[in-house]
Structures are given as C-alpha cells and as structure tokens.
Chains A and B, each alone.
Chain A
C-alpha cells in the first residue's frame, strides 16, 4: 500500500468549456479553488464591514487587523507614496494567504503549489514595476542599474550584473512561494503515507505509526506558520520592488 505524494498536485478537468485554437479551456480543480478563495476573502470582508461598528466584533477585528498589518508593511517598505499600491498588495496578500491556508485542509487543492500561478503573480509585479517606473520617472528609472560611487572602469560589468540581478527577481520571487508550498505538502503526504504503511502491519505497526503521526501533527503546525510567512514574504518583496519603481534614484 503506497501513497503517491505527487497525486495531490494533479490538475483535473471538472468541466470542459470552450476550445480556442485547438487549446481546450476548461474549468479545473485549480480554478474551482481560486473561486473558493476569492469567495472566502470577499465573504470575510463583506461580512466584516457590514456592521461597521465602532467597537469591532470578531469578524471586523480580523478584517481591521489584516488591513492594519498590510498597510504598515506597505508604509514601512515603500513609504507613504507606496500606499497607492495598497489595494494591489492587499489583494495579493489575502489571496496567497487564503490559498496557502485552504490548501492545508485535507483533500483540498493548493493553488500556490502550481508554479504557473506564483510566476504569474511575480511577473505581474515585475511588469508593474517596470511600467510604473518608466511612466513615473522616465529614463531616470534606469538609474536603478547604475550604483553611485563605482569606478568608471568596472561600471559596465556592474551595470550588467545589476540588470541580471533585476531580471532574476521574478524567478526567486515566484520560486520561493511555489517551492515552499510544494515541499511542505510533499513532506506532509510522505509522513502521512508512513502512518498508513505502518498501520497495515498489525499491532506492532500501530505502535510504530504513532511516531509519524506525531510528526504530521507538528508538521501541520509548521506548515500553518509557513503558509502565513510565505504570504507575508511575497507581500513585503512586492513592496520592496514597488519601492524601486517609486524611488529609483540612489
């Protein structure tokens, strides 16, 4: 009796919809969970803002705390000018947080364990930084690649290295979230598989299975922390990159 740890990441067609240019576009389990996430976030905030009480209730407190948290993050790393990007960062943060946490529920699908999703987010941030940077600063934006106080004879190499460093951002930005989610879920599945394998051995196996069971419980707690932490890291890196678009000068 073995458990395939990769099976949980399989995309399945739930409802074929249209075919465009030989490419079938269908409603998959990934799309379903994205809808669930958007629905859950919307419900939370609509439900939280409906009473609009001066003394917040539980739901309203959650909404207010998350607002304050993200607002402080944006303000401290992108400045008050970065607050115009607050809706964007807040949406990203809430979506990734909900995707990570909902993915921890057994039998659910983790949207952020698909690199296409995280890469889309990272590329979105990357292009927003480039377009907004050029729109706001014009060619002055290119100063980003020219550090001050560098001797002229090594400047060309430094500029190329800075450009490569800039281009590598969406990769590390997306891979970090994706790989954390992927590795965490595979680890959980493998240890859960040990429980089943040992449990099929009889009484001794049952005794031995308590060890991986304890590990799975601890890993689940760790994964909950990672789920929050990775959403936060994604949001704060977004803010830092946006800060470059707002103030490219040195």
Chain B
C-alpha cells in the first residue's frame, strides 16, 4: 500500500515536472514573440515614441524647430549684412532660407520627410 502511494507520488511529481517544463516553454515562446514585437519599435522609432507620448510635447517640439530655423536664418543674414554692408539683402535672402530650413526641420522631426541621414544604414 505504501509502495502504491509512493508510486502515485512519483507519478504526480513526474506530471508536475512535465507541466512545469511545458509552461516554461510556452512562456519562453511568448517572451520571444513579445521581444520581436517590441524590437522594431525600439529600433527605429524611439524618437517618435518620445515625441508622441503627449500631443503637447509634440506641438512644442515642432514649433521650436520652426522658430529655431527662422531665428538662425535671420541672425546669419543680419550678421552678413553687418560684415559685408549688403543691407538689407542678406537679411531678406537668409530669412527666407531660414524659413525653408525651419520647415525642413519640422517635416523631418514629424517624419513626413525621411531624414536621409537616418535610414542610411
């Protein structure tokens, strides 16, 4: 009788172990799938995730990009005018170019225009 019980116990332990290893295998597969899903996200679009985390942050980001471009264009044009005495042409031309650079910045950071530097390798 005691033998039978021992046998039963051993059998139970055996099935427990099998169930455990099966569960571990399933968990491992699940983890693999989860990693695959998470990987492309962490690979290319980390910047996107950071900026889309809140619309406020995104709006802020885009507006600062545009303003920075215009400011740099205007500043550079003003300096060129001062050094070369070409007033007001440097300011006019570089303000327009700066605006274009600002729009380019915005489109790049919004992901509308792919940044050639980023998807090169």
Segment at the interface with A among B7-15, B27-35, B39-47, B81-89:
B39-47
Contact B98 A240 (CB under 8 A): no
Q: Which of B50, B97, B117 contacts A161 (CB 8 A)?
A: B97
Contact B120 A168 (CB under 8 A): no
Decide yes or no whether A42 CB sits under 8 A from chain B: no
Decide yes or no whether B2 CB sits under 8 A from chain A: no
Q: Which of A160, A180, A229, A236 contacts B46 (CB 8 A)?
A: A236
> Shortest beta-carbon distance, A118 to chain B, in Å?
12
Number of interface residues of A (CB under 8 A): 38
Contact B69 A232 (CB under 8 A): no
Contact A164 B98 (CB under 8 A): yes
A250 contacts across to B, CB distance below 8 A: 116-117, 120
Separation of A236 and B117 alpha carbons in the complex (Å): 15
Looking at chain A's contact residues, is the secondary structure mostly helix, strand, loop, or mixed?
Answer: helix
B67 contacts across to A, CB distance below 8 A: 171-172, 175
Q: Which of A21-50 contact B (CB under 8 A)?
A: none
Segment at the interface with B among A3-11, A72-80, A202-210:
A72-80
Decide yes or no whether A192 CB sits under 8 A from chain B: no
Decide yes or no whether A214 CB sits under 8 A from chain B: no
Interface string of A166-184 (1 = CB under 8 A from B): 0111011001100110000
Contact A229 B64 (CB under 8 A): no
Contact B71 A168 (CB under 8 A): yes
Separation of A73 and B71 alpha carbons in the complex (Å): 30
Number of interface residues of B (CB under 8 A): 34
Q: Which of B69, B117, B118 contacts A168 (CB 8 A)?
A: B69
Contact A164 B101 (CB under 8 A): yes
Separation of A79 and B117 alpha carbons in the complex (Å): 13
Decide yes or no whether B76 CB sits under 8 A from chain A: yes
Decide yes or no whether A226 CB sits under 8 A from chain B: yes
Decide yes or no whether A165 CB sits under 8 A from chain B: yes
B47 contacts across to A, CB distance below 8 A: 77, 236-237, 240
B68 contacts across to A, CB distance below 8 A: 168-169, 171-172, 175
Contact A161 B104 (CB under 8 A): yes
* CB-CB nearest in chain B for A72: B42
7 contacts between A and B (CB under 8 A): A157-B97, A160-B97, A164-B72, A167-B76, A175-B68, A229-B53, A229-B54
| Given A229-B53, A236-B47; 14 other pairs, CB 8 A cutoff | A79-B121, A160-B97, A162-B104, A164-B94, A165-B101, A168-B72, A168-B102, A171-B67, A171-B72, A172-B67, A179-B64, A225-B54, A247-B120, A249-B120
Q: What residues make up the interface of A, taking CB atoms closer than 8 Å to B?
A: 72-73, 76-77, 79, 144, 147-148, 157, 160-162, 164-165, 167-169, 171-172, 175-176, 179-180, 225-226, 229-230, 232-233, 236-237, 240, 243-244, 247-250
